[in-house]
Structure 1
């Protein structure tokens, strides 16, 4: 990690705690407007998570942790145990904002556990835990980036999907952290970013993030990915995950599964980079994952302009599941799992 200039490749912070409010970089307005939404209540944080003001599994968890801190200001309790009971409705509201990303429930469980072991200083314990969740995520991302980059042969080109960078985390990013580290070490030449319909996280967010670091991305339509692989221009697909199951199946932004299929067909290697908090050993396989569906109307237009015919129906799943057999490596801050399966996951995560 000593050869990675983090000051150059880690400039963006989507979540800011002021001591009074939670400020969230409004990712719906990027790349043309850089604007922070100010949240003063846990309900406002839950609404921001649901509306995709803040997005990305780790960032959602961090935001929710601060949401609990905000909720605590309306609660009077003698100790953490009493506070945990009174804060349960707020925790449940935050947890329901996005059902697929395991980091959300994981972060809220950490906050609740901090309450249950706290005495009269439970407010300070809550705030310390929220700070720790963010700090742990940043450290994990930097470690993960170095581990993932080490798998990539110098001179390689990569394709990524959705946005897995600083905007989706406490900083540096997961899959985009691997790419940042690979560029810094001279391992990665060209970065291709899929546009990622319907919210265009690749076109709006990933391309913008890479520009901030002086990395010139090449944007490709989602439908062009298989052809890109066929030309031999990419050697790795590097993506993130919102949930990793006990058998190594992973849930990620819709469109990831078809990239994995195309990569296997064309001999392109496929990497999933995510913090260990994304691993859910209680979910046996991808078949058990609750796949979130959003408003079908998101498919009917682009940038506020309707492009679809009137009076039609649409199906809008937000995530899909990539079977472990299509994944060459899962990278977390704990290490690399090559050719993941149930046995390898059990060895790594118990």
Structure 2
């Protein structure tokens, strides 16, 4: 097989576009049939976009919430006490998706900045808007770094186009990092085929297929039950997973079915890669043994939506800060050390 040249992707469609006095959001509900944008002019619009599914995924919802606070401050214009005047807007946005720890973290970042700015008068709206813009830019840079470092890992093992397998769950957006990696690998000419495993035609699966099609990734949709046979018969090189949380020792908490994929990958001698932002590490959780099943593994209805993959089944974790081969507590601590540079 000849080494393929990099594949030019279609120009990206911005999911979020900040226009200073409003926010434009690509309506995820309309895809792939049509490109429809929804405009947000205040915190109420932003909260509705999150709650109604116009925007999907924890990171995107958090960014919309950040811009929602900036828009609320723009509408107020002047205030003697910004924290008091914006309190209702913070509460409304938090209630739009109360189960999202990332959205609540983003609102915490805005609130921390606001506490330092609350009596500064007219400059507060501009400064809150800049915080939201900075969070947005940081997320985009993080995704580029994840892809770049993941491609380096893939090339170290094989410079030829390869076959990948990943899982998409309707219950979370943990797979986002895995898809970012595959699209980056496609741009580097390293993807022969991606098998996308999903058990139902969910919105998450539909959006993933649309994104991959735009980047011309050869993608085949398969049921999760077919993963073992694909690994046995189709010369797959990499199983790629995202993360909901990662314990200090490298144990992975991710979409239900990830543990099964890791076991199958080990049995068939395939490499298992986790792709996730460094924020996914929960150093307060020494190992997944400490995890209460009710703490993130179960849906509000009591359905199991997450599982645990022990660290010894993981070949490599790729983050925007660097790469951890054969993850364990000491290697992860080194990666997350302030002294670490990738």
Q: TM-score normalised by the shorter chain: which range applies?
A: 0.7 to 0.9
Structure 2 equivalent of residue 64 of structure 1? 65
Contact residue 169 and residue 255 of structure 2 kept, 8 A: no
Q: Distance in 1 between matches of 2:199 and 2:71?
A: 33
Q: Give the one of 246, 250, 269 matched to 1:267.
A: 269
Q: Distance in 1 between matches of 2:234 and 2:208?
A: 22
Contact residue 102 and residue 280 of structure 1 kept, 8 A: no
Structure 2 equivalent of residue 257 of structure 1? 259
* Local SS of the residue matching 2:30: coil
Instruction: Measure how far apart 1:253 and its partner are.
Output: 3.3
Question: Does structure 1 residue 236 correspond to structure 2 residue 242?
Answer: no
Question: Does structure 1 residue 332 correspond to structure 2 residue 331?
Answer: no
Superposed CA deviations along residues 91-136 of structure 1, whole A, max 9, x for unmatched, are 3443454456543233222222222333332211110011111111
Q: Distance in 1 between matches of 2:238 and 2:132?
A: 34
Structure 1 equivalent of residue 102 of structure 2? 103
Structure 2 equivalent of residue 188 of structure 1? 191
State the Cα RMSD in Å: 3.1
Structure 2 equivalent of residue 302 of structure 1? none
Instruction: Measure how far apart 1:149 and its partner are.
Output: 1.3
TM-score (norm 1): 0.78
Larger radius of gyration: 2
Instruction: Measure how far apart 1:284 and its partner are.
Output: 4.2
Superposed CA deviations along residues 142-201 of structure 1, whole A, max 9, x for unmatched, are 11101011112233210122289xxx79xxx63222112212222221111123536252
Instruction: Measure how far apart 1:207 and its partner are.
Output: 1.6
| Higher mean C-alpha deviation, range 24-33 or range 276-285 | 276-285
Question: Does structure 1 residue 49 correspond to structure 2 residue 50?
Answer: yes
Contact residue 145 and residue 178 of structure 1 kept, 8 A: yes
Q: Distance in 2 between matches of 1:236 and 1:184?
A: 17
Instruction: Measure how far apart 1:44 and its partner are.
Output: 4.0
TM-score (norm 2): 0.80
Q: Distance in 2 between matches of 1:101 and 1:252?
A: 15
Number of equivalenced pairs:
319
Contact residue 163 and residue 206 of structure 1 kept, 8 A: no
Instruction: Measure how far apart 1:329 and its partner are.
Output: 1.6
| Higher mean C-alpha deviation, range 259-268 or range 85-94 | 85-94
Contact residue 75 and residue 83 of structure 1 kept, 8 A: no
Structure 1 equivalent of residue 18 of structure 2? 17
Alpha-carbon spacing, 1:325–1:77, altered in 2? closer, same or farther (3 Å): farther
Q: Give the one of 167, 178, 198 matched to 1:175.
A: 178
Alpha-carbon spacing, 1:11–1:96, altered in 2? closer, same or farther (3 Å): same
* Local SS of the residue matching 2:126: helix
Question: Does structure 1 residue 346 correspond to structure 2 residue 318?
Answer: no
